[in-house]
Amino acid sequence: MTKSSYSVAVIGLGAMGMGAALSCLRAGLTTYGIDLNTAALARLKAAGATAVAQDAGAFAEKLDAVLLLLVNAEQIRSVLFGANGLADKLNKGTALMLSSTISVQEVKEISQKLTEKGLIVLDAPVSGGAAKAASGEITVMAAGSEAAFNKLQPMLTAVAAKVYNIGAEIGLGATVKIIHQLLAGVHIAAAAEAMALAAKAGIPLALMYEIVTHAAGNSWMFENRMKHVVEGDYSPLSMVDIFVKDLGLVTDTAKSLHFPLYLANTAHSMFTAASNAGYGKLDDSAVIKIFNAVSLPQKGE
């Protein structure tokens, strides 16, 4: 496909970022990739990226848009405002899509600093997992100015099946994503608890999985994550530690609103226990490992 004159950089080539970058390539956008992982850079370059690097400085002036899919606000601040920060190298009017799951206050502070530098910001967390990212079908829950939506339209079209305009106020996107993560985290925790109970009762987990995924108790998270448990494969697509962070954001948000959380607090404790037990870097389905005296499938069995 002939590349367009619209140039994008995807910063953070993890499971979601790599899929988004490949979707941009597939849409014909001139695509750059930035990550510290040299294997990820090599993969994107082989797929047709114009350039890849551990730092975007060399091609910052060529960019129309930047998609940031980093783990947390600390990483975002380091990339944008740290030593050799990208924010000062971008042309005024470049649009940035902040798509990491971070707190409302963090996204507001980062957005304000970028706006003061003449840059355009969209508060735009995403969902859908690695598979949806790879197919260009993620869901974007976005807040920002009309100018931000317009400037980022080619990239939004490339990576998303659904783009929800929540409003002009920065922080609304982050709020919706945090509420969404409450559901995602609770669903994974509940799914793990159910499968652990099945294991304790001697029900074959492949059979339990088959029944639930064809019955009313199913959820997207059960179907997606418990497949990893049945296969005994905890290769990380979304890590346990991500939900320690995300459910921490949920509980912090609720505290600020003096709002009780009965299920989310328990789920947060479950993921924290899994991390404390040494499973933090495994797939988030590994939260099931906190249940003792149950026999779980092993990879290759």
Provide the annotated active-site residues: 177
- Contact by Cβ (8 Å): 70, 37: no
105 phi/psi in degrees, rounded to 5: -65, -40
* Buried-exposed string 90-109: b where 16+ CB fall within 10 A, e elsewhere: beeebbbbbbbbbbbebbbe
- Contact by Cβ (8 Å): 174, 107: yes
Token output for 269: 């404790």
87 phi/psi in degrees, rounded to 5: -55, -35
- Residues constituting the chain: 301
Pseudo-torsion of CA 58, 153, 31, 142, nearest 10°?
80
Question: How many other CB atoms sit within 10 Å of the CB of residue 264?
Answer: 21
Q: What's the chain's Rg over C-alpha atoms?
A: 20
Nearest to 283 by CA among 181, 55, 130, 138: 130
Instruction: Give dist(CA 157, CA 49) in Å, integer.
Output: 18
